[in-house]
Amino acid sequence: MGQDGLRISEFERISVVGLGYIGLPTATMFASRRYRVIGVDVNEKTVRTINRGEVHIVEPDLDIAVRSAVAAGYLTASTTPEAADAFLIAVPTPFDNGNHLPDLSYIDAAARSIAPVLSPGNLVVLESTSPVGTTERMADILAQERPDLTFPQNNGEESDIRIAHCPERVLPGKVMLELVTNDRVIGGMTPRCSELASRLYRIFVAGECIHASGPRAAEMVKLTENSFRDVNIAFANELSLICARQDIDVWELISLANRHPRVNILQPGPGVGGHCIAVDPWFIVSNAPDEAHLIRTAREVNDGKPQWVVDQVRAALAQHLAAHRDSTPHEVTIACYGLAFKPDIDDLRESPALEIAQSIGQDLKGRLLVVEPFISRLPKALAGYATLVPFEAAHEKADIHVMLVDHSAFKGSQVPDGTIIDTRGVWR
Ligand code: SAJ
């Protein structure tokens, strides 16, 4: 330990570029182990928030960790990169929803922004989930920007700069735990690149640091994990459609089939949301469009599920009106339970539940009640279409009940009167 309490290490300064859902928790982990961390983000507001010791994202235990790391002086944020021993790039890799092609401009910009402050001996790690070949592309950008330095793609083990891809694999909601406990896949451009990256991650990773044969393999590992889950959820979602047609309880079916020692089907739902599983499989498809049939079809099955749920609601509404000839469409009340993209979180982004509620709200002439215990105000997408109400109010008043998210608070509740469309098996 040095006089100022900082660790004496080959990594005296660690720079994390991109202070979002992955970058900020990762930067905070290093800082919590008493390493000097400079977080870099292009958003000035984000930088100011972090420098006040506050957070701009919701993740259990992150706020306390950031507060103490900033207060102790181990973590500072800036809009411009500074010299460091290791650079971790954790910027978004969105995709164009229309043509499903990845947008690598954030990674390119991050590489260009750190290039001027690189010096011999530095390690650059790409953490962002990326199509195969992106780490090599980043290495080429760095080499173009800094012709005075040598890079592994040209100089192998003798290069000035070490480069690796080490994909993040943590589950939103459990990030602070999984950052420490998960195994880490390390895809260095050379064995020494992998070794240096492993030494960096061992600062806080208690899981194993496993070396892949190179960055391309590591990139594909991450995409494969999320595609595996997407394909398995698509299988469950397709079963839910087949079962609905044949009047079979899909949850009973899956739980019985899963009693087989070699069967492990995931759960159906209203669709697949979030920023990872609904996006990453397209990175495989975009690089191998003629081969990735199953992966593409799984995406299409999961993306089609919200519309199927909306169609079920429309059919239930028509049936309700046919059965209650004295009531007009204006008198019907529909309740949606849950808006988040998965249970027990407050994240509504890329949420199939929100998409469904919005669709129902737009064509409903009656009343739409929404129950979402994790928010206090309805998102803009529902403004004017719906009313946020407590669970009991919806449960009591609605004619049609649409269960969209299996929040713990909903489980074990009594099955309401009226028509039920249960996408999560809560009221089986
Ligand atoms: N879902 C189902 N049925 C299931 C499981 C999930 O419909 O049986 C739905 C959820 O409701 C949600 C979506 O899938 O809408 C995704 O949720 P998730 O919990 O499966 O995954 P994410 O997106 O929160 O996090 C995933 C994780 N990947 C894997 O588990 C393979 C996480 O480890 C990754 O780090 C993360 O993606 C990421 O950042 O890539």
6 located within any domain: no
Over residues 234-287, the pLDDT tens digits come to 999 999 999 999 999 999 999 999 999 999 999 999 999 998 999 999 999 999
User: What is the atom index within ligand 1 of the atom nearest the CA of 173?
Assistant: 24
304 located within any domain: yes
- Please report the DSSP string for 54-108 in residue order: --SS--TTHHHHHHHHHHTTSEEEESS----SEEEE-----B-TTT--B--HHHH
- Within 8 A by CB and 6+ apart from 155, the residues are none
Q: Could you tell me the two tokens for 84? A: 């460091």
Q: 193, 209, 222, 305: which one is catalytic? A: 222
154 located within any domain: yes
Q: Is 276 a catalytic residue?
A: yes
Average pLDDT for residues 114-138, to the nearest whole number? 98
Q: Is 243 a catalytic residue?
A: no
Average pLDDT for residues 121-134, to the nearest whole number? 98
Q: Could you tell me the two tokens for 95? A: 């995709």
Q: Is 169 in the pocket of ligand 1 (CB under 6 A)?
A: yes
3-state class (DSSP) for residue 399: coil
Count of structural domains within the chain: 2
317 located within any domain: yes
68, 145: one domain: yes
Query: Tell me, what CATH number does 121's domain have?
Result: 3.40.50.720
50, 178: one domain: yes
87-106 as b/e: b if 16+ CB within 10 A: bbbbbbbebeeeebebebeb
Average pLDDT for residues 49-61, to the nearest whole number? 94
Taking only Cα atoms into account, the Rg of the chain, rounded to an integer number of angstroms, comes to: 24
Residue 105, pLDDT score: 96
How distant, in Å, are the alpha carbons of 43, 82, 270 from that of 51? Answer: 13, 16, 39
168, 272: one domain: no
Which of the listed residues 182, 213, 244 is the one where a domain comes to its end? 213
On whether the CB atoms of residues 125 and 165 are closer than 8 A, the answer is: yes
Residue 97, pLDDT score: 77
153, 285: one domain: no
User: What is the atom index within ligand 1 of the atom nearest the CA of 343?
Assistant: 11
222 located within any domain: no
5 located within any domain: no
CA 53/CA 68 separation, integer angstroms: 7
145, 65: one domain: yes
Strands 184-188 and 162-165, by their bridges, are: antiparallel
What is the edge-to-edge ordering of all strands in the sheet holding 123-126?
A: 75-78, 36-40, 13-17, 86-89, 123-126, 162-165, 184-188, 209-211
Residue 124: pLDDT above 90?
yes
CA 258/CA 403 separation, integer angstroms: 24
63, 86: one domain: yes
The Å distance, Cα 322 to ligand 1 centre, comes to: 39
Residue 1, pLDDT score: 56
CA 329/CA 58 separation, integer angstroms: 39
Domain with 76 in it:
13-213
Q: Is 342 in the pocket of ligand 1 (CB under 6 A)?
A: yes
CA 404/CA 360 separation, integer angstroms: 13
65, 154: one domain: yes
Which of the listed residues 184, 213, 242 is the one where a domain comes to its end? 213
On whether the CB atoms of residues 105 and 140 are closer than 8 A, the answer is: no
7 located within any domain: no
On whether the CB atoms of residues 199 and 162 are closer than 8 A, the answer is: no
The Å distance, Cα 277 to ligand 1 centre, comes to: 6
Residue 325's pLDDT band (boundaries 50, 70, 90)? Answer: confident
What is the edge-to-edge ordering of all strands in the sheet holding 387-388?
A: 387-388, 367-371, 333-337, 400-403, 419-422
258, 204: one domain: no
Q: Is 172 in the pocket of ligand 1 (CB under 6 A)?
A: yes
On whether the CB atoms of residues 286 and 299 are closer than 8 A, the answer is: no
252, 365: one domain: yes
User: What is the atom index within ligand 1 of the atom nearest the CA of 280?
Assistant: 40
364, 312: one domain: yes
CA 394/CA 320 separation, integer angstroms: 17
Which of the listed residues 150, 184, 213 is the one where a domain comes to its end? 213
219 located within any domain: no
Residue 58's pLDDT band (boundaries 50, 70, 90)? Answer: confident
pTM reported for the whole predicted model: 0.94
Over residues 163-206, the pLDDT tens digits come to 999 999 999 889 999 999 999 999 999 999 999 999 999 999 99
180, 246: one domain: no
135, 183: one domain: yes
